[in-house]
Amino acid sequence: MIKKGLLIVISGPSGAGKGTICKEWLRRHPQTVLSVSVTTRPPRPGEKEGINYFFRTPEEFEKMRGENEFLECAEVYGHAYGTPKKYVQQHLMAGQDVILEIDIQGALQVKDRFEKGVFLFVVPPTMDELKKRITKRGTEGRDVILKRFHCAFEEINFIKRYNYIIVNDTVEEAVQKMEAILLAEKCRVDRNEELILQIQGGI
Amino acid sequence: MIKKGLLIVISGPSGAGKGTICKEWLRRHPQTVLSVSVTTRPPRPGEKEGINYFFRTPEEFEKMRGENEFLECAEVYGHAYGTPKKYVQQHLMAGQDVILEIDIQGALQVKDRFEKGVFLFVVPPTMDELKKRITKRGTEGRDVILKRFHCAFEEINFIKRYNYIIVNDTVEEAVQKMEAILLAEKCRVDRNEELILQIQGGI
């Protein structure tokens, strides 16, 4: 039997460092599939089609949404983002773990549609740290930064819908916690129905 | 703030190897407290009072039960066993993890009374292996062995009341899984209420 993969949803306020954690995770676990989102946002310098995002026009995006092709989709800072459902399901069925790095709005939609996912909420060690991280990125204007900071404050309240909280003290520790969480989840009784049937059949 | 410890209940059919796993766990994690049970069973050669068990007469045991001093108690193969509640709670409150190695009947009682515990069900790699392990211990007669084997078959059905299943392929792997499970459990949102309040208070 092929064991189905796990869907790992890594989320949290903007600036918590989830991107860095994902990058380090994928460096250590190259067999994990990173879900690539569809977006209407124009590419930033260096971003590549099919690697960072699938870049689509608003019209193309709407067509996909109409055909129910997203596991989640949301508008963030004026642009649409969506996770292609088929892409994720194909990899899970093939036994590969899939990691979704998405904003909180998106994560909550996935939670409604795919509650067997593992939902990780990443927070910075302190809220001051969050403020620093949000403001020091420096590629956007003041309005965007303020808006993002305000969202971070509001969104933290959704933490209770997640399974795990990861305090991002260091990337090293955060990734170690993720490794533990994945191994533990794979031992959960409710994820091992086939194994339990096998054991019961053997007695 | 002192973080409360975790109660780890390690259980499973007799002969699954939970004793060996506990021993290796304690060798690697000497800060974990092993809960010492009260029993009316006479000491086996080499067993020490207060280390392996608190050995009590049936009358003393009944008095404790009457005063509600057990987190669980059960009769197994004609002898009474109980986990002293105070002993466990004191260590948890002091921030120490406590490990309970108990039979399935006892574990289910703890589950009813202390559902915040982490419930691990250990199974041997195959049921043949269980049979071998049960029969090769060789310190008891044929009747005891047969009774134990029959119980193992019946008890496996309780697995769904546990949180995790650990297949005891090797002690090394089993302990690694336990380590992952403990670290993961400590990251669970529902075990981090104080941390979440702190984060919310900081914004």
Mean pLDDT of A54-60: 95
Helix (H, G, I), strand (E, B) or coil at A144: helix
Predicted pLDDT at A150: 75
Average pLDDT value over all residues in chain B: 89
Between chains, do A187 and B165 touch, taking CB under 8 Å as contact? yes
Four-CA torsion A175, A177, A178, A182, nearest 10 degrees: 140
For A52, A66, A98, B79, the CA distances from A69, given in Å and listed in that order, are: 19, 8, 17, 61
The chain B residues in contact with chain A (CB within 8 A) are: 121, 123, 126-128, 152-153, 156-157, 159-160, 162-167, 176-177, 179-181, 183-185, 187-189, 192, 195-196, 199-200, 202-203
**Mutation test of the interface with chain A: which of B149, B199, B200, choosing the one with the most A Cβ atoms within 10 A?**
B199
Determine which helix (DSSP H) or strand (DSSP E) holds A113, and give its type and residue range. Answer: helix A104-113
Between chains, do B165 and A126 touch, taking CB under 8 Å as contact? no
Instruction: Give the separation between CA B147 and CA A200, rounded to whole angstroms.
Output: 18
Mean pLDDT of B132-138: 66
Mean pLDDT of A5-22: 91
Would A78 be classed as within a structural domain? Answer: yes
Would B1 be classed as within a structural domain? Answer: no
- Higher pLDDT: A128 or B48? It is B48
Between chains, do B156 and A199 touch, taking CB under 8 Å as contact? yes
Would B97 be classed as within a structural domain? Answer: yes
Cβ-Cβ contacts under 8 Å for A154 (sequence gap 6 or more): none
For A28-32, B49-53, B125-129, which range has the lowest pLDDT when averaged over its residues? B125-129
- pTM here is 0.85
Kindly report the CATH number assigned to the domain that includes residue B184: 3.40.50.300
pLDDT over 70 at B134, yes or no = no
For A51-60, A120-129, B109-118, B125-134, which range has the lowest pLDDT when averaged over its residues? B125-134
Predicted pLDDT at A29: 97
pLDDT over 60 at A203, yes or no = no
Predicted pLDDT at A138: 61
Would B186 be classed as within a structural domain? Answer: yes
The chain A residues in contact with chain B (CB within 8 A) are: 121, 123, 126-128, 152-153, 156-157, 159-160, 162-167, 176-177, 179-181, 183-185, 187-189, 192, 195-196, 199-200, 202-203
Q: How many domains does chain A have?
A: 1
pLDDT over 80 at A100, yes or no = yes
Predicted pLDDT at B6: 97
For A47, A116, A167, B9, the CA distances from A55, given in Å and listed in that order, are: 10, 28, 32, 50
Predicted pLDDT at A15: 77
Predicted pLDDT at A1: 59
Q: Which residues of A touch B156 (CB under 8 A)?
A: 199-200, 203
ipTM of the complex: 0.84
Would A1 be classed as within a structural domain? Answer: no
Question: Considering CB atoms only, which of B126, B164, B192 is closest to A165?
Answer: B192
Determine which helix (DSSP H) or strand (DSSP E) holds A49, and give its type and residue range. Answer: none
Predicted pLDDT at A162: 96
Would B2 be classed as within a structural domain? Answer: no
pLDDT over 80 at B124, yes or no = yes
The pairing of strands B70-76 and B53-55 is unpaired
Would A52 be classed as within a structural domain? Answer: yes
pLDDT over 70 at A133, yes or no = no
Q: What would you report as the CA-atom Rg of chain B, rounded to the nearest whole angstrom? A: 18
Provide the residue range defining the domain that includes A24. 7-201
Would A2 be classed as within a structural domain? Answer: no
Average pLDDT value over all residues in chain A: 89
In this structure, are residues B59 and B69 in contact, taking their beta carbons and an 8 Å threshold? no
Question: Considering CB atoms only, which of A167, A183, A199 is closest to B177?
Answer: A183
